[in-house]
Amino acid sequence: MTPGYTAFVRVSLITALLMMVGWIAVICTSLFFRGGHPPLAAIVGIGVVMASWFLGTVGVLAGLVGVVRARTGRRKLAIVALCANAGLLAFSVFLIFM
């Protein structure tokens, strides 16, 4: 997938990708499956938020270790993965406490 990067950076990238796919699933269910009791989008949304708390925490911690261990030239992808995980985690925390 990403040759030359540590396993921590790969874990951080995979968790960010999984969270993005989850949020795309929330958007798709809210667009295509309206109504119902409770609405399917709400069920999928709560599931994605709870999964994002776990995946985001793992991704941020792996990203921090990856940034510290990465060489100077390979640090950009680790920082991008760290920021993506932190942003998605912050978004899911914001949604719960909103």
Handedness of CA 86, 5, 51, 31 (dihedral sign): positive
pLDDT at 61: 94
Region of poorest pLDDT, from 12-16, 46-50, 75-79, 88-92: 75-79
pLDDT at 4: 61
Mean pLDDT throughout 5-34? 89
Mean pLDDT throughout 74-89? 90
pLDDT per position as a tens digit, 25-78: 988 888 887 766 677 888 888 999 999 999 999 999 999 998 888 777 778 888
Helices (H), the chain: 7-32, 40-69, 75-97
